[in-house]
Each structure stands twice: as C-alpha cells, then as structure tokens.
Structure 1
C-alpha cells in the first residue's frame, strides 16, 4: 500500500526537466540487455552486482550476492532463448517478432522502483513521461520473491501491465483484488510440507528443528508442517520464526546457534525466500560446525553460501526443487553465447569481464572490446554458473511462451475482426492482454503443461537434490530422489540412499530422535509432560510380545501360543500330558503292571494254600475280594496315563472311587470280622449270631452302593470332561481331565476318607487282641499307610502342575494300594512260603493257648 501512495505522490510532481536530465536518461538506459522486436517484453532481474562496482566491499553477504548474479543471469539467457525459438517458429505471431529489454531489479528498499520508473517514463523521477518512442511493450517479467513482485506489481498496476513472476509461488499474490494484473508461473507448493514429512518418515527422523522466515509464506508452511508432522507423530524439537531484519542481530543469531548445537535434533527444516536462505546460511555457517542435515525449500544460491556454510563442515543439504522437464537445445545455446553475438547485452559483457578478466573500454553504446571470442560460459565452475536450466529460468521460459500464445490468440482474434492498420497488425495495449493470458493453457516443448489460472494450476512435483562436495569444491548437484503427489499412495516418494553424500566421515544415515527406538520385545513408555517422541523402553510382560520397532503396546499371545524368551514372537504351545512313551509315564506303567502282577501271584498263593490255617483264619472270601480289588486299583492307574479323552476322563474318577471303596470297605469288613471273632468267645449270643450270620460281609456291598450312588449323581450333574490349561506351564498346553463338579468330586473323596478313618479306628482298637493269626495289627498299619499317603497327596497334588500333577495322583494310587498289599498279605505269604512250620494247626492251637493264658 505504501509504494502505491508513493507513486501517487510522484504523479503530482512537475513534468518539466532540464536537458541535463534528458542526457542522464540515455546514460542510465544503456545498462540493459536488449533485443529488438515488433512486440517487446520487459524483464526485471536481480543483476545489481553486474551493474555496479563492489570491489571495495568486504561484506561476505555482498560477495555472495555478487556470485549470485552469475546464477541469475541465466534468466536473461532463458528469456533470449525462448524469444529466438518463437521468432524462428513460422506458426507463431504471423510475421510479428518478439523482443525484450532486461533491466536490473535492485531489491534494496526504494531502489526496487528505480529501473521500473526509468523503463516506464525514461527517467526515474517523472511518471507518465517518456523520452523514448511509442512503447511496444505488452508484458513484464519480474519477481524473484513475493516482496519484489508485490512492490513492482503495485507500480505496474497503474498502467495495467501484465506481470508474470518467475519466482516461487506466493499465496499472498493470489489476491486478485490487490494484484489483478499479476500471473505466477511457478506451480503451487501445497504439497511441499507433505514431501518434507515423507522424507522424514523415510529416514525415521522424528525429532526436527524448524527455522522459518517471518513472512506470509513462512507462516503458511509452518502451519502446514505442524499439522503434517503431528499426524505423522514427528515432534518439533525447537522452532524459530526469524524476520529478515534479524539476520544482522548477532546476539539473536548466537542464541539460535546455541540452541541448535545443544539440541539432539540432527535434522533442521529451513524455509524462506532466496535472500533469506542466503543470509541465514552465511550467518549460521560462521558458527555451526556440527553434523546436521538441512532440508531446504530451494537449491538456488546454496552453493554460493556453501563457501561460508558448507565448505569443510559436516552439514548435509537436501533440497526440494520443483521438477521440470529438460528443454532441448538450451545448454547448447548457453555454450554459444558471447558478447560479440549479443553486443547490446550490457550484463553479458560485464559478466565476461568478471569471469575472464578481459580488458574493456566503455562508451555510450556499451561496446566492450578485447574479450576473446573463443571463451564460453561452459568454462565457469558449476558452483559459479550452472549450465542446466534452473527453476526460475524454466518459469521465465514458460512465461515468454505464455505471452507468445496470448499474442497469437489475440492476432487470430484481430484477423476475425479485421482490425489492422495499413495492412499491419496493431500492437495491442497491455490491458488487452489480460483476457487472453487468463485462459492460456498449453504444453511446452518439454511436454509439461503450463496453466496460468491459479484455480486450475497443478501442484508441484519435487526433485530432491544433494550437493556432492568431495573432493572439496566439486559442487555437483545430484538428484537423489523425487516426490510426486500424482503417484499412487505409498509410492509418492522415491529415494536412492546410496547416492547421498552424508557428512564428512559418516557412512550411515544419521539419526534424529529424542529417544532411541524400542527394539522388538520392548514397548514405549511415555514420559509424562514430554513429547510423544521422548519415551523409555519397557520389557513386555510374560506371554506378551512386540514384534516391531517402537510398539506402544505389547500383544498378548493366544492361549495356544506362548512368547519366546526375547518376547518377539508367539510360538505354538506343545501339547503336554503324561504319555506312555516318556520316562515318567513308562515308569508308572511298569510299576502298575508289576504290582498288579504281584497281587495276582499273591491271589494264586492264597488259592493254592486256601486249606491252611493262616488262610482260613483271616476270612478267605474277604481276602479274595481285597486282592481282586487291589488288582483293579493298580490297573485303574493306567487310565491316568496317555492322551486324555472323554471316556478315560469319566472312567478315571469313577473307577478310582468305586474300586478303592471296595478295597477300603473290605479292610473294614476284615477288621470287624476280627473284632467279632474275639467277642463271640465271650458270653452273649448276639455277637456270635453276627459272626455266624456273616453280617460283616454286608459292609462291602452297602458301602460300595453308597459310592456308586454318589458317582451316579456326579455323572448326572456335571461329569468329567477333557480340558486344556494354557497358563500353568510355559510353552505347553496341558491336556487334562477336568473333574466337572468339584462338589461331587470332593463328596466321593470325602466318603473314601470317612471309610478309611472308620477302618483305621476299628483296626486300631483291635490291634492288641491276642491270637496267633490276628491280623488287626497289620490292618491298622495298612490303614495308617493308606491315610498317610492320601493326606500327603492333597497338598502335593494342588501345588503340582501339568503332567507332574497326574503323576502324583497315579503314584498315590499305587502307593496306597501297595500299602494294603504289603502290610496285609506279604507277611502271610512269608509264613506260607518261607515258614510253613508256623502254618499248622498244632502251632496255631499252642499259640492260641499261650495267648489266652496271658490274657487271663
């Protein structure tokens, strides 16, 4: 707004000037690059150093800008190349030629208006006055930055001149209310933040610093970066929004430098216009000597600033440059350029003098002599002058073609309306160009589509560049990747890591994280009050895994799987049960078979010696029942060994409960029989009647019937079934028999305990009855063994797991059964087989007589 006010004030100045000022007009206008044509294009490029003498300046920034002009001169060459191509094309403009005038665009404050005023009026102080002939200009190329475009555009808008900017796209210039005559050639940068974040994700950089210029573009990209980084869980280690004026504030820059050096962030995103980037690199480069990776939004001027910023340091620049096609013939055109071919190019002659040190003599016609013709810009080092077309040169080339296409459409329109004077086309006024420029859309010779309408303008694709500076000074810009929003999702970014030249001495990709990644087997544990990128690594719990890096939660393994020792993988659990073919199962099977065989042998001995006194004295029928029940007790243990199934699970508990009930009730019957046998010799007919009638023999069926009833209720209510236990034993799924109703199980077990305690009590009371073949003591001891085994069994059983628990139950069955066998029948077999003299009636009567005398 202020430049517009200034311009309006100038319009009120007197229009009278002296002849001396008219002479000055010509002197100033000679500093230009000119090519005559029927229709002219004006260009304002930052060529200030080629037009002035800075030989006495020691400023690093001025020296860098002086070198920067060599880069910017390529804009002039791109303009000339496009104009010559169009003029050679007979399909364009119908015998009308294009020409151009190029002037310096000084960016230093009010100096930016100096040459535009000279061009418009012929003198920098008098608007609406010109010392030149009738103007043939229809468009202006200007604007390396948004600020320059806005300043020049404010002046040009007074004359409705179309301004085509070749700098980076600036959303602020899209306000057609403020800049109705301005057209931006650069593609939109709306995907730049996505491209940068994609590169951060590609290298797993999640701890990043931001240095952003304090202008509208900088604030826009800052908001975009924050949003995209937040969604991608990338944290901002620090951020600085730096105004351009602060470049000269040493204390402010030192504070930023200290924070950068102290921060663990090894990646910085730097965004700004070219002057901002150049100044920032020069100032920071005087301090920073630590390894950092810099992501920049432009490649221009970087190799110039590298003299101060990159050379000999450990920094890695990765630059996002707009991707564009190659314009055929441009490099050959540059190779053939020299002052003798373009004698009206003041800046080319000046560049030649600075580059090749040829002597010169200056005249009003800007004639430079003694510059050898065989020299070429190709001789200049790549960091001084790049032969490949830059972004701005490409935009300049497209801008010239856009003007040509608009003129061509206008000429066709004039042909239809027959608007010609004396058979010649009328040179259009600048204002007439706007309707045609707004609708221009074409494909250039590189095959890229060019659209000036910002609503239809395509988003930019980016080449990712890295400067190779080894050996020192080589300065090769190497394309190491590309980002395209038009590629399928997941394939938008492509990077060749092997082509990147990292910091000096570095062989691996640098890290930029707040916390080291949590390896598989660990999970993130976030630190309270800090960014999500800062965390501790906590091991996963039992039976949980993390199989990827930086997992926030561990995954629980399914019940049929278990976590390996590193807790990185779930492995299938092996089925666990007491198998026949493993040593423990095989040992218990052999023990059961041997004991059952031994019991059968004892039964055979009793059958063979059934007529002997010792066999008759201990109730032959009860002995047979007990021995047979013991055989089944030993054999029932085999039901617990092997892979469980529904049949074995039911038979295990039912068979165990019934056969042990028969065994214990038989021992009770034998004990009651012994007691009745001694009591029957005393007076009283009732005891004798109970003994003679065989009443003790009814104990077995009655007790057994009660147990069978309990088992029947168990099967009817909740029978045993096959179950699995995936938690008790690590790495194994235990296949077991679930007892179903625990109440029924404990009722069956409790009933057995009641019978055992009753038998033990009766046997204990009858242990001292005198008789040679009195087995009350043996019955007492057998019940003591039986009760001891099962009392010990209960705590051990409940503390054991898996196959060990089953083995404990089998061993308890075998031990308790063996206790009956060993305590009751082994002593009798010893007498029958080894001491037959004691197994006689004479011995029996003698012993009984001695026993009675002792008792009396």
Structure 2
C-alpha cells in the first residue's frame, strides 16, 4: 500500500498537485481491534503524533482493509451507516456483496462463492467423482463448504463426507477426522478451512501414515509456509491449491529490497520486520549487552533484504500484496474522477466536480462504483453492482524436490471475465502428483461401467456408488458409464458383449438345415414305403386279404397317406406365397381324406359282420355306396372349410422379428388362427368317430377284421396330435414348423404301420393264411358264436 501511494504521488497524470497520505492500524486478526481501529481512524480527536500543522487529525478519504472477513464484517456495518468507502484486499465472505447491509463495501479479491465454483470445476476437470470435504467450523467454512458441495453435486459428482473442524479446542476431534480420511475411498480431500486447525490435523495424518491423497487448498491458506515440518510437506506433495490471482507489480521488488529502517524512521513495522527476518534485535537507548541476551545477535543495519529465504519473503509471488496494491490505486482513480471530472461524469446523478477540501464519503462511493482501469500487470479492474471485481484465481501445485526444497507452481487459472460461471484452464504437463501416482489419480466410489453394462444405483448411497449390471439380451450400452441400456431395432440384435447391435441371424426350416433334411428324408422314405405297399396290394388284388375289406378304399387310403407324407415337404424350405397358401389346406384335406377312408373301412367291417346274422337286412338297407358317400361327404366338408380359408384369410410369408433371441424367422402367417384350429378340430372329430366305431368292432374275427388295427392307428393319431398342441404353442422360430412336420410324419406313419403292415405280413410272409378256406373258417366260427349268443339270450 505504501508503494502504491508513493507511485500515485509520483505520477503526474493522477491527482496532479495533490499528495496522498495514510495512516496504518494493525487489527491483528481481531474483530475488537478492527472496530477500535475504525473508530480511531474516523475520529477527529487531537493527535499529538500527527505532523499536521493544527494537530487535528482529519478523517481519511477511504479505509483499506481488513484482510480477514471476520474483521471486515463489523467494520462494514459501521462504515455502511455513514456511507463511508471501505475497500478490502482480502475479505471474501459472500454476504459482503449484499449492498442492503453493506452499501459502501468494495473489495479487490473475488467473492468466496466463486471459489466453490472454481474448486468444483477443478474436480470436474480431472474427472474426480468421489470427494471429501473438511471445513472450518465458522460461517465462512460452513457456508462455503455447503456451496462447494452443491456445486460438486450439480456437476454430477458426489461428496464422500463433509466434516467440520472447530477453530477453537479442535484437538479432540483430530483422531476422529484422521480415521474418517484413512477409511474413506475418496482420494481427493478439499480443506475448506483456515490454517490454524490444519497444522495439527496434518501432523496427525502424517504420523498415522495416511498416504495416496490429493489435498486441495483454498484461498484461506493455499499452500502456506506455515507448514514447516518436512513430513507434512511430503504429505502435501502434489497437492493443488486455489489462490487469489497473482499480479506483477512493476519495480516493487526493487522497492522491497531497498527498504531499510534508516529510510523509514517513522514506520513502526519495519523494525519488527527486520528483527523477524534476520533473527536479530535492535539495541534500544540506554540498553546494555546483557539486556539483549547472549543468544540474540544485534541488528547492524548492514543486512540485505534480497538474501532472505524466499519461503519467508517471496518477492516474486504477490497475491494479497497485489490486491492491496490494486485497492490503493482504486481509491486514487476514484479521487482522480472526483476532483477532475469531465462533462460526461458531471451528468451522472447530477454530481459536479468536488473541491479537494470538501471530500464527502458518500460522493467518493459513487465514483468508486464507476472506477475502470488496467493495472501494470494487465488486469482490468472494475466493480460490479455488488462491489466485486471479476473473479480470477490461480491454480497452484505444491511440488517437493528430492533435495528437500519445495515450492508451489502456477499450473492453471480460473477466470469469470469471459463467462459468468467461469472458465478453468490447466496445463496438465506442469502438474506434479504425489509419488504414489504416476498419472492423474483416480477418486471414485465405484469403477466405471464398461460398455455393455449399465449403472444400477445402490439403495441409500450417492449416485456415484453403483453396481455394473450387464444389459439384457437385445439391449446394448455402447459407451462407458451408461445409465441405461438401449433397445436394438427389431431387425438387429445385441452381440455377446452387449455393446453393439448386429444383424439378426435368419432362421428357417430349410433343406440345408440338418433338422429339415432329416425330416424331409424320413417323409420321402415313408412315401416310398407307401408306394411299395400300394404296388403289393395291386399285384395281389385278387387275393382274399386284399378283397376282404374293400380294396378300392385301401388304394385311396394308401394314396392319401402318401400325399400326407409328401405334403409335409411344403413346410420345409424358404416360405413363398404359393407354399404358404397351399401347405395348411393341403395338409388338412389329405388328412381328412385318409381319416374318412379309415372311417368308411370301419363302417364296412360292421356292416359285413352284422349282415351275416339271420334275418339281417342291414346290407340292403344301407346299400353298397355307403363307403363312397362317407369318404366324399367327410372330405367335402374339409375342402369347403379350407377353400373359405384360402379365399378370405389366406396365409402369407412374413419375417418374424420376435420369434427368438437374435434371429429373424422366415415363416408363414396362417392368416385366420380360428380357421387353423377349426381345421385341426374337424380332423380330430373324424378321428374320434373312427376310434369309437373301430373300438366297438374290435372283437370281430381277426382274419376279416380291420377294426382292431384301425383302433390302434386312431390311438396313435390322437396321441400325436394331442401332444402336438402344447408343443406347437410353446416353441418359437423354426421349431413350430418342425413340430407340425413331425406330427404329420408320426401320425401318418402310425396309420400306415398299424393298418397295412399286418396285411403285408400275411401277403408276403404267410401266403398260406391268404386263402378262402381260412377266411370261411373264421366266418363259420363267427356265425356259430353269434347263434350261441342268441340262444343264451333266449333262455334268459
């Protein structure tokens, strides 16, 4: 401040012919002393030490200070009542921006609310997710830490813990805080506290061997020279700090290096500084050597300031020094505008240029609001409506060297001049991390979820703590830390890693498919067997076994069974419009034809044996065309049903996207599901009637009787198709088609084997049984049995 006022006085363009003076009062970080100093500076009491001619101390034009917020608050309340200008160079308490409470308060350091934003952006820049906060137990620490927590959470990060550290009687809580820090998985700890309680805390942390943490300091201490122990410096190595913007002050270093008690005999601070810096003591008047003490050397005045250790007297890093320099120049610029205003300034609020002998505080406040200048460091200085300058912080990195020396380096900057929320800029290559880290350390509650997984929050824990769950089939997560999975389009499916949608595999029961090839081969084989049996029957058509049960019906049944085997081939292969249109109706019609033939054969058996009874006119009453009528009538009903199906709701080929996982099934849409099940129901009805009729005729003689074989064939048919229904409904993809083909094959083979294999056995292997005598013996035995049965009935 002294240098700034000296610089203003020597500048002919600022306040020409006017000399600024000053009074300095040390408030010693005490609110009471700050109030005492404020009253002392504002009073007009006689000052015996004043060099002024009248001995009456005039009030200063403005008050610069104080440094701590706790001292500035009571000062600002009193000065605000009188609209007395106050410019603080270190108070960052956010509520000081409230012009309702503090109308005449200005400051040349950023409001602390921006510090929380700067630290939150620093956390976001290095992608730290899991943060611990230690705050001092006062208004600045508690409110600032809450603002920091809010800023961190709004950036999608989480706070692992927020603990307070009392500024008085704090040692009892240090073991507890040390244990919290040691057990926490958070590797980044923000120390939102003043320096006093941090020294014993860091000593305890160091003694407990807590390592692997990145400490972030605030403007209350940043990286302070008060940490003198080498062990603490090792703990803090690689830490980051947010500090008030540093600014170069031209020629200030030379001014500092040339200060000497002899040059400033009336400066009460220089002698104390000299004794502290050089470890000596000035001899007082009438003092003796014994009074100085044997261990304290006397100050000679030949000591050189530029030889002082930089850790104690760093003339290269001006921070609060720079802000106090700016504060003094701000007052100078306001006074310049006040005493030498132009016509434009005169029009502002009807304020005219003032006389230097009539400096009213509230008028100076008006001119302070419109101050706008650029410092020698190139920083633009002006106040907003809250009396704050644009926020700007330096990002510092504490670096400890192998030889034991240490220093903090400027590695980045946070600035709000270009954006209201601030922009952070960091040189990653300039940052040195703690020896435990070779690269940017990680601080997470849960590790990142890899692609293919989604985050599932843990109940009762912050959002940064989660479990990684693999996406369901058909869904993907194509980036890390996905909060949800994306469903693949219908034509696509997820790959094995669940991180990419790929084309679904096409599925169809084709001839190239082993299952399709086997079914087709078996059906063709049985079709060949059926043709062979037909040939055997035609070749032996005059034999009694062939003629016994309507050989024409046997031929029609064999042809129907052969078509049943062959129609199943329509179900195999790539569906087309023609195959879809024909396969179900063809299957229904030929099966109905086959079952109608079996029903007709059963009716013929009953007619043949009931007609042999005495006095029976059954054959004459029913006629000889009954079998043909049964076959034609029963088949016609199915033909009409299938024809209506083909006309009004025909089947058509389609691609089924939902049939199976990762597959597209090419299939036939059967159109009307009701008609499909109606067709099957009608076939079941014919089979049931045939089964009942054949069961009633099961005890007739074997050589003539097909009823027993028909009963077995219908039982096989019913078993197959009753099993088909649940199997068909519970399968997807190509398997419903395979189930239907298998049902056709099994039921057709069952009818073929049960009805015709016994006859083939007699024709081919037992020709001795295939003669009229054997058949007539059966008839005689049957007639005798029937007559005996009739006599028994008559006796009863």
TM-score by length of 1: 0.73
Do residues 789 (structure 1) and 712 (structure 2) align? Answer: no
C-alpha distance in structure 2 between counterparts of 1:198 and 1:618, whole Å: 98
Do residues 632 (structure 1) and 554 (structure 2) align? Answer: no
Match for residue 320 of structure 1? 242
C-alpha distance in structure 2 between counterparts of 1:486 and 1:596, whole Å: 91
CA contact (8 A) 2:66 2:90 kept: yes
CA 465–829 in structure 1, closer or farther in 2 if over 3 Å, else same: same
CA contact (8 A) 1:206 1:233 kept: no
C-alpha distance in structure 2 between counterparts of 1:487 and 1:817, whole Å: 86
Return the offset for 1:558: 6.2
CA contact (8 A) 2:236 2:398 kept: no
CA contact (8 A) 2:97 2:387 kept: no
Match for residue 845 of structure 1? 772
Do residues 282 (structure 1) and 199 (structure 2) align? Answer: yes
Return the offset for 1:717: 7.6
Structure 1: gaps (5+ residues): 1-42, 44-78, 418-424
Instruction: Say which SS state the counterpart of residue 235 (structure 2) adopts.
Output: coil
Match for residue 296 of structure 1? 217
Do residues 524 (structure 1) and 456 (structure 2) align? Answer: yes
1:449 aligned to 348, 370, 380, which one?
380
C-alpha distance in structure 1 between counterparts of 2:356 and 2:702, whole Å: 152
Aligned residue runs from structure 1 range 244-643, under 5 A: 244=167, 246=168, 248-251=169-172, 256-257=177-178, 260-261=181-182, 265-272=186-193, 277-289=194-206, 290-291=210-211, 292-298=213-219, 300=221, 302-308=223-229, 310-313=232-235, 317-323=239-245, 326-327=247-248, 329=250, 333=254, 337=258, 339=260, 351=273, 354-355=276-277, 370-371=301-302, 375=304, 377=306, 380-413=308-341, 429=359, 431=361, 433-455=364-386, 457-471=388-402, 473-485=404-416, 492-495=423-426, 499-507=430-438, 521=453, 523-528=455-460, 573-603=504-534, 615-643=546-574
CA 204–721 in structure 1, closer or farther in 2 if over 3 Å, else same: farther
CA contact (8 A) 1:269 1:296 kept: yes
CA contact (8 A) 1:781 1:823 kept: yes
CA 849–444 in structure 1, closer or farther in 2 if over 3 Å, else same: same
Instruction: Say which SS state the counterpart of residue 197 (structure 1) adopts.
Output: helix
Return the offset for 1:143: 1.6
Structure 2: gaps (5+ residues): 287-297, 346-354, 785-796
1:190 aligned to 99, 104, 113, which one?
113
CA contact (8 A) 2:597 2:631 kept: yes
Superposition RMSD on alpha carbons, in Å? 4.7
Match for residue 749 of structure 2? 818
C-alpha distance in structure 2 between counterparts of 1:359 and 1:221, whole Å: 42
1:133 aligned to 52, 61, 76, which one?
52
CA 414–552 in structure 1, closer or farther in 2 if over 3 Å, else same: closer
Match for residue 205 of structure 1? 129
CA contact (8 A) 1:771 1:847 kept: no
Match for residue 147 of structure 1? 70
Instruction: Say which SS state the counterpart of residue 302 (structure 2) adopts.
Output: coil
CA contact (8 A) 2:97 2:111 kept: no
C-alpha distance in structure 1 between counterparts of 2:302 and 2:421, whole Å: 55
CA contact (8 A) 1:771 1:848 kept: no
CA 699–229 in structure 1, closer or farther in 2 if over 3 Å, else same: same
Return the offset for 1:695: 1.9
Match for residue 737 of structure 2? 806
Return the offset for 1:664: 0.9
CA contact (8 A) 1:189 1:460 kept: no
Return the offset for 1:698: 1.1
Deviations 1:130-173 (A, max 9, x none): 53125796544332122333566688889987442211333444
C-alpha distance in structure 2 between counterparts of 1:252 and 1:720, whole Å: 81
CA contact (8 A) 2:106 2:387 kept: no
C-alpha distance in structure 2 between counterparts of 1:229 and 1:720, whole Å: 62
Return the offset for 1:810: 0.7
C-alpha distance in structure 1 between counterparts of 2:438 and 2:611, whole Å: 106
Deviations 1:732-774 (A, max 9, x none): 3555445555544333222212222332344445456558676
C-alpha distance in structure 1 between counterparts of 2:421 and 2:102, whole Å: 39
CA 772–453 in structure 1, closer or farther in 2 if over 3 Å, else same: closer
Return the offset for 1:456: 7.1
CA 321–109 in structure 1, closer or farther in 2 if over 3 Å, else same: closer
CA contact (8 A) 1:523 1:540 kept: no
Match for residue 626 of structure 2? 695
C-alpha distance in structure 2 between counterparts of 1:360 and 1:527, whole Å: 68
Do residues 168 (structure 1) and 85 (structure 2) align? Answer: no
TM-score by length of 2: 0.78
C-alpha distance in structure 2 between counterparts of 1:189 and 1:567, whole Å: 47
Deviations 1:176-201 (A, max 9, x none): 67655543122334333233333444
Return the offset for 1:300: 4.4
C-alpha distance in structure 2 between counterparts of 1:487 and 1:617, whole Å: 109
CA 165–656 in structure 1, closer or farther in 2 if over 3 Å, else same: same
C-alpha distance in structure 2 between counterparts of 1:99 and 1:415, whole Å: 29
CA 336–567 in structure 1, closer or farther in 2 if over 3 Å, else same: same
Match for residue 16 of structure 1? none
CA 819–544 in structure 1, closer or farther in 2 if over 3 Å, else same: same
Instruction: Say which SS state the counterpart of residue 288 (structure 1) adopts.
Output: helix
C-alpha distance in structure 2 between counterparts of 1:249 and 1:491, whole Å: 35
Deviations 1:604-636 (A, max 9, x none): 555566566655555343233223322321222
CA 228–592 in structure 1, closer or farther in 2 if over 3 Å, else same: same
Q: Greater shift after overlay, 511-520 or 791-800?
A: 511-520
C-alpha distance in structure 2 between counterparts of 1:739 and 1:504, whole Å: 73
C-alpha distance in structure 2 between counterparts of 1:764 and 1:351, whole Å: 125
Deviations 1:549-596 (A, max 9, x none): 666666666666666666666665434332332111122222233333
C-alpha distance in structure 1 between counterparts of 2:322 and 2:19, whole Å: 21
C-alpha distance in structure 2 between counterparts of 1:487 and 1:415, whole Å: 31
Q: Greater shift after overlay, 660-669 or 734-743?
A: 734-743
CA contact (8 A) 1:211 1:268 kept: no
Instruction: Say which SS state the counterpart of residue 279 (structure 1) adopts.
Output: helix
CA contact (8 A) 2:31 2:74 kept: no
Instruction: Say which SS state the counterpart of residue 465 (structure 1) adopts.
Output: strand
CA contact (8 A) 1:527 1:534 kept: no
C-alpha distance in structure 2 between counterparts of 1:158 and 1:817, whole Å: 109
